């Protein structure tokens, strides 16, 4: 096959690797609009299940990813001036620099004969009309998807809370949730290491708290100074590292959950964030992108007809996505309704936080849900982030 992959993210890079492994004669080119090594993003997470899948699919890239990853097997919940609780996980978590992950996958793809054209933006599949397959992996704002928006049917749900994605030189030993109460409401962060020198720190709050703290008005440097003071206890004097816009403003966002009615149209197919997004609080985005790549490569290998293969890919990937999508929705809503849980006893808060993926929890009084959890013997259980 002649394949054009638009976007040089994890999904397209891994897809090209798997396609070349099953048939080196495939003619595959990846088109990425940014320069090599210029990706934004601090660290990404993955879990034992994905780690095992990577080894089965391509041991060479899996070994390189393993060697560049850091590991944790516990998480910490810190509620300012009330409690700090450490919980052991049943499943190991891993962090890796997004830049390093993409570098590993790009190097592996090129070693197998994949061509990567950097600084090449594609918005129209007609630019390579002789391609048998066009894989749109160009992110949540996919130009190829939106060109056929009436067919794909993209829908966005914008979350209530506002967040900023930061780095820090503080290396967390465990996955950290830290909650700080201010006169304007609660603000909290998710922190996890992704190398021996750095961690990711995602900070979130309601728009009201954001405005009340003055985070809506200042330049990024001013915002970071405020946040470093608020989270001084967990940062231990380490700085936060941001990504200033051209005008110096901070990169605060509302998370957008994307779904598409269908994932393929003619010879164009969606993968990764072009097809779907899940809230960052479950840490599943990279794993789901790689899963798309794996399923698509498998169906193209097994099916003789392109339309049949793309339809099978869409069915299987959508089925695999249902559980993490549900978990992500419930997790995002837990944080959007934080006042419902945060004023309870520390042990109740920690347990309810760990069960935030639950379908039932939003409909049961928190104290009653906590008692059900104790009776079921599951206190401290089901803390498998990314499930």
The pLDDT of residue 334 is above 50: yes
Residue range 84-114, pLDDT digits in tens: 888 887 678 999 999 999 999 999 999 999 9
Question: Percent of the chain, pLDDT > 90?
Answer: 83
Strand order in the sheet with 83-97: 43-47, 83-97, 70-79, 175-182, 185-193, 199-205, 162-168, 240-241
Give the pLDDT band of residue 123 (cuts 50, 70, 90).
confident
Is residue 382 predicted with pLDDT exceeding 80? no
Residue 174 has pLDDT above 70, yes or no: yes
Q: Is the dihedral of CA 359, 338, 194, 35 positive or negative?
A: positive
Give the mean pLDDT of 162-178: 96
Place of tokens 């090129």: 110
**Pairwise CA distance, residues 184 & 358, whole Å:** 29
Question: How big is the chain, counted in residues?
Answer: 387
Task: Spell out where 126-214 has E strands.
Answer: 133-136, 154-158, 162-168, 175-182, 185-193, 199-205
Q: In whole angstroms, what is the distance from residue 223 CA to residue 169 CA?
A: 17
Chain centre to alpha carbon of residue 139 = 12
Digit-coded pLDDT (tens) for 231-240: 999 999 999 9
What is the average per-residue pLDDT within 255-262?
98
What does the pLDDT read at residue 386?
34
pLDDT at position 51 is: 83
Residue 253's CB is within 10 A of a number of other CB atoms, namely 12
Residue 376 pLDDT greater than 80, yes or no: no
User: What is the rounded distance in angstroms from the CA atom of residue 104 to the CA atom of residue 110?
Assistant: 10
Mean pLDDT of 317-333: 97
Nearest to 344 by CA among 329, 363, 365, 315: 365
Q: Do the Cβ atoms of 282 and 146 come closer than 8 Å? A: no
What is the reported pLDDT for 377? 56
Query: Residue 385 pLDDT more than 60?
Result: no
Q: Residue 380: pLDDT band by 50, 70, 90 thresholds?
A: very low
Mean pLDDT of the chain: 93
**Rounded distance, CA 342 to CA 339, Å?**
5
Indicate if the pLDDT at residue 196 is higher than 80.
yes
Alpha-carbon distance 267 to 17, whole Å?
20
Q: What is the pTM of this model?
A: 0.93
């Amino acid at each position: 096959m002649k394949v054009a992959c638009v976007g040089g993210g994890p999904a397209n890079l891994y897809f090209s690797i798997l396609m070349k492994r099953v048939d080196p004669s495939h003619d595959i080119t990846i088109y990425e609009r940014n320069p090599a090594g210029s990706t934004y993003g601090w660290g990404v997470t993955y879990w034992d299940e994905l780690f095992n899948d990577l080894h089965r699919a391509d041991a060479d890239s899996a070994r390189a990813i393993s060697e560049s990853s850091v590991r944790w097997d516990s998480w910490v919940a810190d509620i300012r001036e009330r409690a700090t609780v450490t919980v052991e996980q049943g499943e190991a978590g891993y962090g890796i620099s997004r830049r390093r992950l993409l570098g590993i996958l790009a190097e592996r793809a090129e070693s197998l004969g994949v061509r990567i054209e950097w600084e090449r933006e594609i918005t129209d599949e007609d630019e390579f009309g002789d391609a048998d397959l066009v894989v749109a992996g160009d992110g949540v704002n996919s130009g190829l998807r939106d060109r056929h928006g009436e067919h794909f049917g993209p829908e966005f749900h914008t979350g209530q809370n506002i967040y900023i994605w930061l780095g820090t030189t503080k290396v967390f030993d465990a996955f950290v949730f830290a909650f700080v109460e201010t006169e304007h409401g609660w603000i909290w962060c998710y922190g996890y290491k992704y190398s021996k020198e750095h961690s990711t720190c995602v900070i979130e709050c309601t728009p009201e708290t954001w405005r009340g703290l003055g985070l809506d008005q200042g330049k990024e440097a001013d915002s970071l100074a405020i946040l470093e003071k608020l989270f001084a206890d967990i940062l231990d004097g380490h700085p936060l590292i941001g990504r200033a816009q051209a005008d110096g403003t901070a990169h605060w966002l509302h998370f957008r959950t994307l779904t598409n009615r269908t994932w393929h149209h003619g010879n164009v197919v969606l993968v990764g964030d072009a097809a779907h997004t899940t809230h960052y609080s479950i840490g599943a985005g990279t794993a789901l992108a790689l899963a798309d790549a794996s399923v698509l490569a498998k169906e193209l290998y097994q099916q003789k007809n392109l339309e049949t293969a793309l339809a099978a890919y869409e069915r299987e990937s959508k089925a695999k996505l249902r559980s993490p999508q549900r978990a992500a929705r419930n997790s995002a809503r837990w944080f959007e309704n934080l006042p419902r849980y945060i004023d309870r006893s520390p042990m109740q808060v920690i347990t309810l936080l760990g069960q935030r993926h639950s379908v039932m929890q939003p409909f049961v009084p928190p104290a009653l849900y906590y008692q059900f959890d104790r009776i079921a013997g599951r206190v401290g259980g089901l803390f498998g982030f990314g499930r």
